[in-house]
């Protein structure tokens, strides 16, 4: 694409591992309350963003 698009880098393997851990936790502890999990992501700025600095 021209210009190269700005995207988000998502850590899919970490997301999968975390999902499995949450499911296992839910099964083994019979937790009724959900956990909030923050998965890191990285903004990959490219030429589609105007750099105003």
Q: Are 47 and 7 in contact (CB under 8 A)?
A: no
Q: Are 44 and 5 in contact (CB under 8 A)?
A: no
pLDDT at 20: 96
Q: Can you give the residue range of the structural domain that contains 28?
A: 7-44
Per-residue pLDDT of the chain (53 residues; tens, 9 = 90+): 788 899 999 999 999 999 999 999 988 997 788 889 999 999 999 988 876 55
Domain count, the chain: 1
Reduce the DSSP state of residue 29 to 3 states and report it.
helix
Of 32, 29, 9, 10, residue with least CA distance to 21 = 29
User: Is residue 28 domain-resident?
Assistant: yes
User: Is residue 51 domain-resident?
Assistant: no
Reduce the DSSP state of residue 7 to 3 states and report it.
strand
User: Is residue 23 domain-resident?
Assistant: yes
User: Is residue 24 domain-resident?
Assistant: yes
User: Is residue 29 domain-resident?
Assistant: yes
User: Is residue 18 domain-resident?
Assistant: yes
pLDDT at 52: 59
User: Is residue 25 domain-resident?
Assistant: yes
pLDDT at 40: 92
pLDDT at 39: 93
pLDDT at 51: 65
């Amino acid at each position: 694409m021209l210009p190269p698009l700005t995207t988000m880098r998502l850590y899919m393997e970490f997301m999968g591992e975390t999902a499995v851990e949450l499911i296992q936790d839910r099964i083994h502890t019979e937790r009724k309350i959900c956990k909030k999990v923050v998965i890191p992501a990285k903004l990959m700025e490219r030429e589609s963003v105007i750099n105003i600095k």
